[in-house]
Amino acid sequence: MAVDNKKRVFKGLAWSGIERFSAQGVNFVFTFIIARQLLPSDYGLIAMLGIFVALAQTFVDSGFLNALVQKQDRTEVDYSTVFYFNIVVAILIYLLLISLSDKIASFYNQPLLTDLIIWVSINFVISSFATVQKAILTIDLDFKRQAWISLSSVFISGAVAMFMAYKGYGVYTLVLQGIIKNLINVLLLWFSSSWRPSLVFSIQSFRGLFGFSSKILLGGFIANIYTNSYTLLIGKFFPASDLGLYNRAETISKFPAYNFTNILVRVFYPIECELQDDAEALQGKFYAFLRMTSFVVFPIMLGLCAMAEPIVRLTLTDRWMDTVPFIQIMCVAYMWDPIMRMTVDLLNVKHRSDLTLRAEVIKKIIAFLILFLSLRGGLIVVCLGLIFYSFSDLLVVTYFVRKLLPKVSFKQEMIVLFPVFLKASIMGISMYSLKWLGLDDLPLLLLSIPVGIIVYIGISLLTHTPESEFVVNKMRNVIYK
């Protein structure tokens, strides 16, 4: 049973990773090609709608995907109820945004936004038709099918968008790319799934699921406001050039942490939900997942921190070198993101989304205080404040988790994570030290990556880290199979 469970985890992680990084890799290539044909103002217009899109999507999702995954005795009635509710909410959000389109366009003094909002908002209605199918595939840990669907939708929509960009469609290239991507994604999910909605809607089922999902909905709403407040306030109190440096640093440093977080959490969460009634087994599985996550994420983030300077110079040129210290600080801050996500998910696993919401409110009060206080010290202090927030987040969440799972505490998490952090730090220092060889950027990167891997895996094997032995055994199986 234990072996089968390990296979499920490894297979789920593998396909979740393939889906995440293959789709984003293809999307990156298309984005680079398309950007050569469009103007910065085209991207600016879409960015202006970012906060409205993020908040609207929060309401469309309403936390029901998590609610279905978390519930163990889910029924056909539950699936159908969620299906119809999501569609109705998506249509209402669509109509609301259309009614506000003139006001939003007037706020930004961009008349074209009136039409763009109408088109962009169609995505909410389209995506609402596939929430249940996504939940079912996630419950089954069927990320292989999701990988092919995601990759296909990104490839087809990217190819169409590339053609439109070269034909001079401008900003509508980006709008229709999103619509085509969502439409293909939904169609493929429907064709690949045998589930179809029944003509039933249960108020009782809705109340049961919404009692859980409503807290996730409100928590997500608060989190989105907080996330977007950084861009808003930095743009208000600092020059536009500083905001550009900050946003570029955030994009680079968030990419590995957030992608790995989504990969890992999607696999771990449904497995933990199966153990929700066995506290001892759940706590043990949580710490095993915690070690596995930190073993992968910590060295990647600290390696990026160590090599930020040559990476920026090679990819963004010398004009962006002022963003290096921001990237380095944010790497240390965002490396804790998967730990925070996994810890707070324990509250949802135990069906206590009320505690999740309470923790989210307290965390964001602390976060806004940190943000407002750090603004006085400049952008470096703002970035340092993100590190402080990461640990305050864990302190708050573990306080609530400990009420349900006594063996999960901030102190115990740090005890588990510190050895991995120490090994990753030694790896990062060894990589950073190579800069004194005086090599050019590309040779330095080509040398530092294998050196970092050898140092990290070597220390891990010498200290008999279970995760390193697991990775080595898997590599042996692949080589000698």
DSSP 244-286: HHHHHHHHHHHHHHHHHHHHHHHHHHHHHHHTTT-HHHHHHHH
Residue 97 in this model has a pLDDT that exceeds 60: yes
From 236, 267, 298, the end of a domain falls on: 236
Residue 234 reports pLDDT greater than 60: yes
My answer on whether 264 and 189 are in the same domain is no
Q: How far is CA 194 from CA 97, 183, 189, 352, in A?
A: 33, 18, 10, 31
Q: Say which residue, 345 or 242, is predicted with more confidence.
A: 345
Rounded CA-CA distance 244/2 in Å is: 49
How sure is the predictor about 328, in pLDDT bands with cuts at 50, 70 and 90? very high
**Residue burial 154-178, b: 16+ Cβ < 10 Å; e: rest:** bbbbbebbbebbeeebbbbbbbbbb
| 272 & 390 share domain | yes
If asked whether residues 200 and 250 sit together in one domain, one would say no
pLDDT at 47: 62
Minimum mean pLDDT range among 20-29, 365-374, 439-448? 20-29
pLDDT at 299 over 90: yes
Lowest mean pLDDT among 27-31, 132-136, 409-413: 27-31
Tokens of 201: 């809607």
pLDDT of 143 reads 66
Highest mean pLDDT among 36-45, 352-361, 443-452, 458-467: 443-452
**CA 12, CA 140: separation in Å to the nearest integer?**
9
End of a domain among 213, 236, 259? 236
The pLDDT, as a whole number, for residue 298 is 92
Same domain, 260 and 165: no
CB-count exposure of residue 73 (10 Å: 0-12, 13-18, 19+):
exposed
Count CB-CB contacts under 10 A for residue 394.
Answer: 21
Given a contact cutoff of 8 angstroms between Cβ atoms, the answer to whether 11 and 150 are in contact is no
The structural domain count of the chain equals 2
Q: What percent of the chain has pLDDT over 90?
A: 11
Nearest to 27 by CA among 180, 192, 216: 180
- pLDDT recorded at residue 157: 87
For residues 247 and 185, state if they share a domain. Answer: no
pLDDT score, position 3 = 45
At residue 54, the pLDDT reads 73
In whole angstroms, give the CA distance from residue 261 to residue 6: 19
Same domain, 98 and 145: yes
∠ Cα 96 230 58 (to 5°): 35
pTM: 0.64
Classify burial at 453, counting beta carbons within 10 Å of its beta carbon; exposed 0-12, middle 13-18, buried 19 or more.
middle
H-state helical runs in 167-202: 171-192
Domain boundary among the residues 202, 236, 270 is at 236
What pLDDT is recorded for position 402?
87
pLDDT at 422: 92
Same-domain check for residues 222 and 267: no
pLDDT of residue 478: 39
pLDDT tens, 142-178?
667 777 888 888 888 888 888 888 888 887 888 888 8
Average pLDDT over every residue of 368-394: 88
- Give the span between the Cα atoms of 14 and 12, in whole angstroms: 5
Indicate if 60 and 126 belong to the same structural domain.
yes
pLDDT at position 253 over 50: yes
Rounded CA separation 180/164 (Å): 12
Please tell me which residue, 195 or 47, carries the higher pLDDT value: 195
**Which residues, 6+ apart, have CB-to-CB distance to 461 below 8 Å?**
468, 469, 472
Cβ neighbours, 10 Å, residue 40: 9
Q: How confident is the model at residue 342 (pLDDT cuts 50, 70, 90)?
A: confident
- Other beta carbons within 10 Å of 306: 24
Average pLDDT of every residue of the chain: 78
pLDDT at 481: 46
Same domain for 254 and 205: no
pLDDT-derived band of residue 5, with 50, 70 and 90 as boundaries? low
The boundaries of the domain holding residue 176 are 1-236
Taking CA 449 as the corner, what is the angle to CA 447 and CA 451, rounded to the nearest 5 degrees?
Answer: 70
